[in-house]
Structure 1
Amino acid sequence: MAYEIPVTQARAELADLINRVVYGGERVVVTRHGKPLVALVSASDLERLDALDAPDAPAGERVISSVSAVRDAASASRERQRFGIAAEHRGPDPS
Structure 2
Amino acid sequence: MAYEIPVTQARAELADLINRVVYGGERVVVTRHGKPLVALVSAADLERLQELPDAADEQVVSSVSSVRSTSSSGAGRQQRFGIAAEHRGPNAT
TM-score range, shorter chain: 0.5 to 0.7
- Bigger radius of gyration among the two: 1
Task: Give the alignment's TM-score, normalised by structure 2.
Answer: 0.56
1:14 is matched with: 14
Distance across 1 between alignment mates of 2:53 and 2:5: 27
What is the deviation of 1:52? 1.5
Counting strand residues as a fraction of each chain, which structure ranks higher?
A: 2
What is the deviation of 1:44? 0.8
What is the deviation of 1:27? 0.2
Q: Which has the higher contact order (CA 8 A, sep 6+)?
A: 2
1:39 correspondence with 2:51: no
What is the deviation of 1:53? 5.4
What is the deviation of 1:49? 0.8
Distance across 1 between alignment mates of 2:53 and 2:37: 20
Task: Give the alignment's TM-score, normalised by structure 1.
Answer: 0.55
Write the mapping of 1:26-65 to structure 2, written as runs, cut at 5 A: 26-52=26-52
* CA deviation profile, 1:9-28 (whole Å, cap 9, x unmatched): 00000000000000000000
In structure 2, what residue type is equivalent to 1:50? Q
Segments of 5+ residues of structure 1 without an aligned counterpart are 56-95
Segments of 5+ residues of structure 2 without an aligned counterpart are 56-93
- CA RMSD in angstroms comes to 1.4
Distance across 2 between alignment mates of 1:12 and 1:47: 27
Report the 3-state secondary structure (helix = DSSP H, G, I; strand = E; otherwise coil) of the residue aligned with 2:52: helix
* CA deviation profile, 1:23-80 (whole Å, cap 9, x unmatched): 000000000000000000011100011112568xxxxxxxxxxxxxxxxxxxxxxxxx
